[in-house]
Amino acid sequence: MNDEQQRYLRENLSEEELVIFDLLVRPAPELTAEERNEVKKVARDLLVKLQGLLVLNWKEKAASRSQLQLAIEDALDNGLPRAYTKELYRQKCAVLFEHIYENYNGEGRGAYSQVA
Q: Where are the domains of the chain?
A: 3-108
Reduce the DSSP state of residue 35 to 3 states and report it: helix
What's the half-sphere exposure (Cβ side, CA atoms, 13 Å) at 22?
12
CA torsion sign for 14, 3, 102, 78 is positive
On average, the pLDDT of the chain sits at 88
For the chain, percent of residues with pLDDT exceeding 70:
87
Of 90 and 107, more confident: 90
**Cα(102)–Cα(32) distance, rounded to whole angstroms?**
30
27 upstream amide cis, omega within 30 of 0: yes
Is 70 exceeded by the pLDDT of residue 6? yes
pLDDT tens-digit readout, 23-72: 999 998 999 999 999 999 999 999 999 888 888 889 999 999 999 999 99
Q: Compute how many other C-beta atoms are within 10 angstroms of the C-beta atom of residue 71.
A: 19
The pLDDT, as a whole number, for residue 22 is 95
* Across 6-15, 53-62, 75-84, least confident range: 6-15
Whole-structure pTM value: 0.84
81 upstream amide cis, omega within 30 of 0: no
